Structure 1
Amino acid sequence: MARTRTVVLGAAGVAVAGGAGLATVGLGGGADPAAARGALPPATAAVERTTLTETQDVDGTLGYGGTRTVAGAGRGTITWLAGPGAVVSRGRAVYRVDDRPVPLLYGSLPLYRTLAEGTKGADALQLERNLRALGYTGFTVDRTYDAATAAAVRRWQDALGVDETGRVAPGAAVVASGRIRVAERKANVGDRAGGPVLTYTGTTRVVSVDLDVEYQRLAKKGARVEIELPSGDTATGRVSSVGKVAKEGAQDQPTTVEVEIAVAGRVKLGSYDKAPVVVCLTANRHPDVLAVPVGALLARGDGGYAVQVVQDGRVRTVPVETGVFTEGRVEVSGPGLAEGMKVGVPS
């Protein structure tokens, strides 16, 4: 659900958070008597030159991103599984079958076929890169699984305590893009290894937002955002991905796209997981503009706006054009209006 911090006003009417009303002055239609006769306002505020930023608050969830499932392959009995929250790195066991480890390898291709001497392809290259990263040498890292690769695999298998076949079959390892964090066990010790074993996520905290497509333009990849944590602290982040497929909402719910935000400042994040947060997206920045409190605006009878400029004990009404409204201030411009001037505001 989105929570709007900004209010953009048109010439036809005004909606100001907090119920602040506007006096009416000028071309007919019930002019405010004090404004019309030039009486001094009860208080004044300075015209400031500043940067105004339109923002949009949306709800998100702080966690570790989407989950993926590890499915066991082949025969055997599960004898051990890494527990929820455990972080597993390359070469370490994700689970054990018949008391033999099934280690983690890094890459993008699953083990979809048996790798053996004579195999060629991207999966052979992926395995060789992992062997080299684990400290094994004596082979060339390329797309060919040759005798030297098989010899390195046997040394690796010996270190793991599994049969030294020189071949790597589907199910012999789990492949993920990097370190994983176990999310949930899907099997128990004693179960057969032929089904879902566990789910995992990445190890980096991210904020997930189901963003109303109305605000999709605000979520550009790389854009900086502010995140309000459950503790009230704030953290910064950057949009890391924006979904390309919209999800239609049920009943009265809006159509959304999935947005992920990488979060900085790990110390502030504590142990939050699946925690509700508020993400502040930046809509527009208006640099180097004149701004006054919203309460300084007077509604003119012709549908425009004005402010009362107080100078040398006198009051004059200056027509203004309004721009962005945010955080109780409004962008204004008009003839003779300058930084540092005083304008009338309610007491």
Structure 2
Amino acid sequence: MVLGAGAAAVALLAPGGAEAGGGAATSPPATATVERGDLTDTLTVSGVLGHGAEQPVINSAGGTLTALPAEGAVIGRGDELYEVDRDPVVLMYGPKPMHRTLELGVTDGADVRHLEKNLKALGHDLTVDDHFGLATLTAVREWQADTGLPVTGSVSKSQVVFLPGKVRVQALRASVAAPVRKGQTLLTVTGVERMVTVQLDAGRQRLAKKGAPVGLQLPGELELTGKIAKVGTVAKPAGDDGTSTVEVRITLDDPGKAGTLDQAPVSVELQSEIRRGVLSVPVEALLALREGGYGVEVVEGSSVRVVPVKAGVFAGGRVEVSGGDLREGMRVGVPGT
């Protein structure tokens, strides 16, 4: 009788060596060595190679759209995101969107500090604090003159967009010469770092640990490696079947090897379990025992005996085994090639 065990076919034997149905144990056609080492079980999931999640850029100016960047363009601090009525809308770095006009007399706040940090980074002389004072007013006027904005000394949402850092233009949502309104999404952006994004089943979140290495297979059988950079903590519905997912972001060890691929499907190999310093045998060495469980045929010279074992992790064509008197270096029976 033959039973399935993982990827192997196993014969039904009794302990001691007699095969079910009678007859003495005979020497197997081939043998393999019992090895001690680490085994890593893996799980393969699907991901997408890109630059991370898209984020909309919300317009706060009214008028005619007179300029847009190209898709794929990288925009940094102080650079123009787009242009309305020929006035640039500029990117500055900050953790939260701008919510009010910043000018002399405005109450102190973190948004003032973020504006001042940007102005200082752009080369203007001022002290960074929460207060919009005369030095801030002077720096704003200098910046507006340098940028080509009306020199008013006040900064509004129609002039500046705060985003966490440098961005890459993912998609355009409007056309030059079109009228635009406040609240309209004109373009979407992502981060600039190449990464793989996985929507992982929330029930498997434990398999994704920040800093853990992963294997990646890209189109064209290109194989790369990476590390888990971020694991989401909020599960989001994935469909009508009640399943939910968490987002996992993976950085590439060598982004240059990915070429120019964007939004490409990727197979991601996660390490689901690592067993260190365990005994293992080839999967095909496993035998199904008549009374249940598994065993292996231990070959010692001309002697062959079946030793019951407990099977553990399956990985890389081998299986962890324990129990009996198995030792590293023993020979076990396997099917002939």
Q: TM-score, normalised by structure 1?
A: 0.89
Q: CA deviation at 1:132?
A: 0.6
Distance 1:91 1:107, change over 3 A: same
Match of 1:24 in 2: 12
Distance 1:344 1:220, change over 3 A: same
Q: Does 1:332 align with 2:286?
A: no
**CA distance in structure 2 between the partners assigned to 1:84 and 1:267 by the alignment:** 20
**CA distance in structure 2 between the partners assigned to 1:32 and 1:178 by the alignment:** 69
1:149 to 136, 139, 148: 136
Match of 1:136 in 2: 124
**CA distance in structure 1 between the partners assigned to 2:245 and 2:268 by the alignment:** 15
- Aligned partners of 1:40 and 1:310 also within 8 Å: yes
State which drifts further: 69-78 or 93-102. 69-78
What value does the CA root-mean-square deviation take over the aligned residues? Answer: 2.1
**CA distance in structure 1 between the partners assigned to 2:157 and 2:310 by the alignment:** 69
The 5 Å alignment of 1:1-347 reads 15-16=4-5, 18=7, 20-26=8-14, 31-32=19-20, 37-119=24-106, 120-137=108-125, 139-194=126-181, 195-251=184-240, 254-347=243-336
**CA distance in structure 1 between the partners assigned to 2:26 and 2:306 by the alignment:** 11
Q: Which amino acid aligns with 2:139?
A: A
Q: CA deviation at 1:99?
A: 1.6
Q: SS at 1:94's partner residue?
A: strand
**CA distance in structure 1 between the partners assigned to 2:115 and 2:252 by the alignment:** 32
Match of 1:4 in 2: none
Q: SS at 1:22's partner residue?
A: strand
> Which structure features the higher share of strand residues?
2
- Aligned partners of 2:3 and 2:11 also within 8 Å: no
- Aligned partners of 1:83 and 1:182 also within 8 Å: yes
State which drifts further: 67-76 or 52-61. 67-76
Distance 1:15 1:150, change over 3 A: farther
- Aligned partners of 1:154 and 1:165 also within 8 Å: yes
Q: Which amino acid aligns with 1:151?
A: T
**CA distance in structure 1 between the partners assigned to 2:289 and 2:5 by the alignment:** 17
**CA distance in structure 1 between the partners assigned to 2:117 and 2:237 by the alignment:** 42
**CA distance in structure 1 between the partners assigned to 2:237 and 2:81 by the alignment:** 36
Q: Which amino acid aligns with 2:71?
A: P
State which drifts further: 256-265 or 291-300. 256-265
**CA distance in structure 1 between the partners assigned to 2:63 and 2:240 by the alignment:** 46
Q: SS at 1:203's partner residue?
A: coil
Q: CA deviation at 1:17?
A: 5.0
Q: Flag structure 2 segments of 5+ consecutive residues without an equivalent.
A: none
Aligned length: 331
Deviations 1:123-182 (A, max 9, x none): 110000000100111x21100010111011111111112211111011111211111111
Q: SS at 2:257's partner residue?
A: helix
Deviations 1:43-72 (A, max 9, x none): 111111121111100011111111111122
Q: Calculate percent identity across the aligned residue pairs.
A: 46
**CA distance in structure 2 between the partners assigned to 1:49 and 1:173 by the alignment:** 61
**CA distance in structure 2 between the partners assigned to 1:187 and 1:113 by the alignment:** 25
**CA distance in structure 2 between the partners assigned to 1:233 and 1:50 by the alignment:** 28
Distance 1:307 1:16, change over 3 A: closer
**CA distance in structure 1 between the partners assigned to 2:307 and 2:245 by the alignment:** 44
Q: CA deviation at 1:38?
A: 2.5
Q: CA deviation at 1:222?
A: 2.8
Q: Which amino acid aligns with 1:227?
A: L
**CA distance in structure 2 between the partners assigned to 1:27 and 1:301 by the alignment:** 8
